[in-house]
Chain A
Amino acid sequence: MNLDFQARHGQALALLSLLSKEAEKRGQLLVFLGGSAVQATLSNPRRLSVDLDVYYDGDAKELLRVLEPEYELEARPTLPTELFDFYKASKDRVLVKIDVARFHLVADGGTPYEQKELDAAGSRFKTFIATSDYLLASKLVNTAVGATGRAQFNPTDFLKDVFDANCLADEFGTNLSTWHCFGQINEVQNEIRKTSFTLGQTIQAARNNLINCVPTTQPLGTVPAGALKGFEEYLLRGGLSQLQLSEMAYRMAAYLKAFEQKEEQGAPRAIREIESTVQTRFNDAVYADQCIRGLIPHGIPVARLQQLKLVRPKALLYLDAAYNSHF
């Protein structure tokens, strides 16, 4: 774990505490979003998040004045946009980036957030935080680079998205609201970018990126070993190998396949079936061989499939579910 990241993580929460109190005083809505919100939502945080992402429905410039003079505040140069405000806040040489979104979180005017009590350096404070369903959906949409996901592929950001999505799926699973939020975020992103990607195109882009972030059909994955090593500095415990990433990415790709096939209503049940199959049959050699036979026609080298069977059998089963739906 990187001590500098730890300090920035603590500072991000301290900033959120100040901003939440100020927003409440002004009668405005501030919602905690992004990777920091994911870790704050989990009962056992698993990584450090060093940026602060919030939604604010008032004037961000006015709100952020509450940080002065304690923090040195600076607007970050970015493309002119009426939808975001980007700032840097530093104190005692610890710098935190603050991204303030001004667009609605979902297109249908829903409220995918709830009030929670969080802890910043030992003191409790109340804030609005996006629901776990919204956070999982937004993390999955982020992976759809080339559609309504992140504008550019950045291996570290991609790792954060996959990792966070898995943490949320581990603790909360998925339900109707997750997939509803996914569709809504897709609409909002299309509106912001003035694009018209269909839900199917976004799912397809995300699924392809997830499958190919590790060597699957191509000999090299899009996430290099260096990025994996660098990402380990964010982790509170353990590491992240390429095979571990395979399991996480294929799992999310399988979820998206289920969503694509069963749509909002049927996806949660199909995903429960996938999870049940993986947990009960990963040690079944006959089933693993059946998965391998089913994946060979998709152009995945047999050696790669054999490696998954031996070392990460759950990844093999998730990959099979990402290509061949059995539900």
Chain B
Amino acid sequence: MTSLSLAPNTERMARAVAGRMPHLEFAVWDLSEFMPAFHNVRRNMIFIECDKIALEEVMRVLQEDPKLGDYLFYLGERKPKTVNEAWASARSGDEIRDAIVIIARKDFFGTTKWEGNIRVPTMERMVIDLLAYSLRDWLPITVEEALDAFTWFLKKGQLKTAYLQRYATRRYLGWFLDIVLYKLGEKGEEANRTRIHPKYIESGRRYLEAIKQVERL
């Protein structure tokens, strides 16, 4: 398992929330290290995952920070929705505003303690979550972009497939991950072949075959 370091701004936000809610366990991460892998995503997104009873209060703590005034807030128990799109658009003009996504999560599997009550997800959890959000069309990140980020980190050797698979299964995405791994293995790149266990490639092939059968209906 590999964990990312947090961007300075994300650290500041995490500490602001932790300072006000010292007993609330929450996870925080951002897309700053994903940026080189993206083509169309130009906006950093900061994710804060916490108990649903704290969602609104976390947003209030962050909104009190005048430096975060131009950020776009997404908030949701399951599907995050923009909170201040109209307001943020009205005052932002051409600038690119970063976004803060506050989501209800109780499951901190695949996160490690970063400081006090702040947790950071492993790289595997982050890429699977990104795939999940893009597949469900919850955030302005296409599946294509999420897959680019996924393969970029996989090629860098920063993802462990067994761990990826375990977390993807928890997110009901095991089938999708297997198909992706199968296609990457099929492309025959050495790094992928050696790193991906044959059992995932085999199940990925079967899933893809099944989808093709459905397509014929």
**B-contacting residues of A (Cβ < 8 Å)?**
238-239, 241, 243-244, 282-283, 285, 288, 307, 309-313
Contacts A241-B56, A241-B57, A243-B57: A311 and B24 contacting too (C-beta < 8 A)?
yes
Contacts of B22 in A (CB 8 A): 282-283, 285, 313
Contacts A311-B21, A311-B24, A313-B21: A238 and B63 contacting too (C-beta < 8 A)?
yes
A312 is contacted by which of B51, B57, B63, B64 (Cβ under 8 Å)? B57
**A-contacting residues of B (Cβ < 8 Å)?**
21-24, 51, 53-54, 56-57, 60, 63-64
Chain B residue at minimal CB-CB distance from A282: B22
* Distance in Å: Cβ of A142 to nearest Cβ of chain B: 26
Chain A residue at minimal CB-CB distance from B53: A307
Q: Verify A310–B60 contact, CB threshold 8 A.
A: no
Contacts of B63 in A (CB 8 A): 238-239
Chain A residue at minimal CB-CB distance from B25: A310
* Distance in Å: Cβ of A130 to nearest Cβ of chain B: 30
Q: Verify B57–A311 contact, CB threshold 8 A.
A: yes
* Distance in Å: Cβ of B49 to nearest Cβ of chain A: 14
* Distance in Å: Cβ of B190 to nearest Cβ of chain A: 49
CA separation between A307 and B52, bound complex, in Å? 10
A310 is contacted by which of B51, B56, B64 (Cβ under 8 Å)? B51
Q: List 24 A-B contacts (CB under 8 A).
A: A238-B60, A238-B64, A239-B60, A239-B63, A241-B56, A241-B57, A241-B60, A243-B56, A244-B60, A283-B23, A285-B22, A288-B23, A307-B53, A310-B21, A310-B23, A310-B24, A310-B51, A310-B54, A311-B21, A311-B53, A311-B54, A311-B57, A312-B57, A313-B22
CA separation between A288 and B22, bound complex, in Å? 11
Q: Verify B23–A285 contact, CB threshold 8 A.
A: yes
Contacts of B24 in A (CB 8 A): 310-311
* Distance in Å: Cβ of A38 to nearest Cβ of chain B: 22
Contacts of A283 in B (CB 8 A): 22-23
Contacts of A238 in B (CB 8 A): 60, 63-64
